[in-house]
Amino acid sequence: MKQSIFDKLWERHVITGKVGDPQLLYVDLHLIHEVTSPQAFSGLRSANRKVRRTDLTYGTMDHNTPTVDIFNIQDLVSKNQIETLAKNAKEFGVTVAENGSEKQGIVHMVGPERGLSQPGKVIVCGDSHTATHGAFGAIAFGIGTSEVEHVFATQTIWQRKPKTMKIEFTGKAQAGVYAKDYILALIAKYGVDAGSGYAVEFTGEAIAALEMEERMTIANMSIEFGAKIGLMNPDEKTFAYVKGREFAPEDFDEAVADWKTLVSDEEASYDKVLTLDVSNLAPMVSWGTNPEMSIEVTQTLPEIQDFNDERAYQYMDLKPGQKPEEIKLGYVFIGSCTNARLSDLQLAASLVEGKKVAEHITAIVVPGSRPVKREAEKLGLDKIFLEAGFEWREPGCSMCLGMNPDQVPEGVHCASTSNRNFEGRQGKGARTHLCSPAMAAVAAIEGKFIDVRKVIKEVAV
């Protein structure tokens, strides 16, 4: 039978159980961070159990870490979570990239960077954006804290096989339109629940044309589309990305030969198929309080359809018919596991070089990991940002969520490269507008949203 990549990987990992019932899957990689691991470690401790495969478990500190004065954590809950992970890591023998260490970063940056995220794997993490790793051709999904404990103890997880959906991105995007725009456009078109109950395969010529870092941006936001699992067929770009990294397979050629078989067969069947043509897509901006409430920058804010819209308009202090350029921005955040990789920072830097951040804007750049920070500094990107008037921070989740000191003040509108825009996400009363790094960078300079296609000089990849 012709199979999709998802079917192939699922089949390979089932230990017991039949389709329709929960099935026990083998887990190849378990990523952890300080927020969702403490109770799981406590559970192990009280049951007098060990972490079964410390060699397949990797941790980092990201959500609570400050991005300035990083060892001075004021918030007691944050401090406790950070210290607890450090303690647990030692006690249970798990490798954790601690706050301030060279390999530390947002958990969804660390896996790919170290070469841990690979085609063919089942990857889990107590974090909803785990589908990011699906960009490598892996089944990757977020799990709850009790499941974290189960994976610690057994290196397996019970899951019911989801339905499959194929999403084909067709066409060639214009210069100034990026992966972030594709995924926001998809969510705006089909809704935040459209992927619910499905493992989503992103495919098509527009995906093939993307580099790995942009593919990760799309897989990252599978959950905002409602899908726990989003994945892509691995190709030469995937193999080249993994090659030479710390945890790349020792016999790389042998691994690649296997990975090449783990792609969707041409006539594989799916429970649902959607397509989205990116050729005429404009840069996207979210106006409301979920990612579905997004429009092309050339459009005006939509009419009120229901109570959710009404409430969103109230919270955002916006009105139907307004243009994105009329949104009074106060903050710009370039960061998060969606868009804080090196290529994101390079793109943003290229758009602000030699220019100045508008007077009324506070703009911060937060590299997603310390390796990205170092690389960016080698390229002089820090200087470009600093000269333009951006702040250049230490890595972490930062302003993506209000769990550390980086917060958008109440009532202030923030152009943000992150993935979530619900009420209070970036701080109490904060008003988030999701967009690409290019849109955010240019918004910082202009002091408002403009169509980045007007300033972009590069040819779209």
Ligand X SMILES: CC(C)[C@H](C(=O)O)[C@@H](O)C(=O)O
**Which candidate, 288, 295, 289, places its Cα nearest to that of 439?**
295
Nearer to ligand X by C-beta: 221 or 295? 221
The two tokens of residue 220 are 């990252």
Query: Is residue 127 near ligand X by the rule CB under 6 A?
Result: yes
Nearer to ligand SF4 by C-beta: 23 or 398? 398
Partner in contact with 336, chosen from ligand X, ligand SF4, none, beta carbon below 5 to 8 Å by kind: ligand SF4
Q: How far is the CB of 36 from ligand X (least distance, A)?
A: 5
Q: Is 414 annotated as a binding residue?
A: no
Q: How far is the CB of 368 from ligand SF4 (least distance, A)?
A: 7
Query: Is residue 399 near ligand X by the rule CB under 6 A?
Result: no
Nearer to ligand X by C-beta: 164 or 404? 404
The two tokens of residue 90 are 């030692």
Name which position in 3, 4, 23, 36 contacts ligand X (CB under 6 A): 36
3-state secondary structure of 212: helix
How many residues at the interface with ligand X, by CB under 6 A? Answer: 8
Q: Is 435 annotated as a binding residue?
A: no
State the DSSP H helix or E strand holding residue 123, giving kind and residue range, or none if neither. strand 122-125
Nearer to ligand X by C-beta: 166 or 180? 180
Query: Taking the CA of residue 442 as centre, how many other CA atoms within 13 Å lie in the half-sphere pointing to its CB?
Result: 20
Nearer to ligand X by C-beta: 63 or 103? 63
Query: Is residue 39 near ligand X by the rule CB under 6 A?
Result: no
Query: Is residue 121 near ligand X by the rule CB under 6 A?
Result: no
Q: How far is the CB of 108 from ligand X (least distance, A)?
A: 9
Torsion of CA 180, 182, 188, 190, to 10 degrees: -130
Partner in contact with 418, chosen from ligand SF4, ligand X, none, beta carbon below 5 to 8 Å by kind: ligand SF4
Query: If you search the block for the tokens 């992966």, which residue do you land on?
Result: 179
Q: How far is the CB of 178 from ligand X (least distance, A)?
A: 21
Partner in contact with 35, chosen from ligand SF4, ligand X, none, beta carbon below 5 to 8 Å by kind: ligand X
> Cα–Cα distance between 224 and 184 in angstroms, integer?
9
Angle at 193 between CA 189 and CA 197, to 5 degrees: 125
3-state secondary structure of 71: coil
Q: Which residues bind ligand SF4 (CB under 6 A)?
A: 62-63, 106, 108, 127, 129, 336-337, 397, 400-401, 418-419
Site for ligand X in 138-197 (CB under 6 A): 142
Query: Taking the CA of residue 392 as centre, how many other CA atoms within 13 Å lie in the half-sphere pointing to its CB?
Result: 19
The two tokens of residue 175 are 């210069």
Which amino acid is residue 259, in one-letter code? W
Q: Is 337 annotated as a binding residue?
A: yes
Cβ-proximal residues to 304 (8 Å cutoff; 6+ apart), any chain:
310, 313, 320
> Cα–Cα distance between 392 and 399 in angstroms, integer?
13
Residues forming the annotated binding site for [4Fe-4S] cluster? 337, 397, 400
Residues forming the annotated binding site? 337, 397, 400
Q: Would you tell me which residues interact with ligand X (CB under 6 A)?
A: 35-36, 63, 127-129, 142, 401
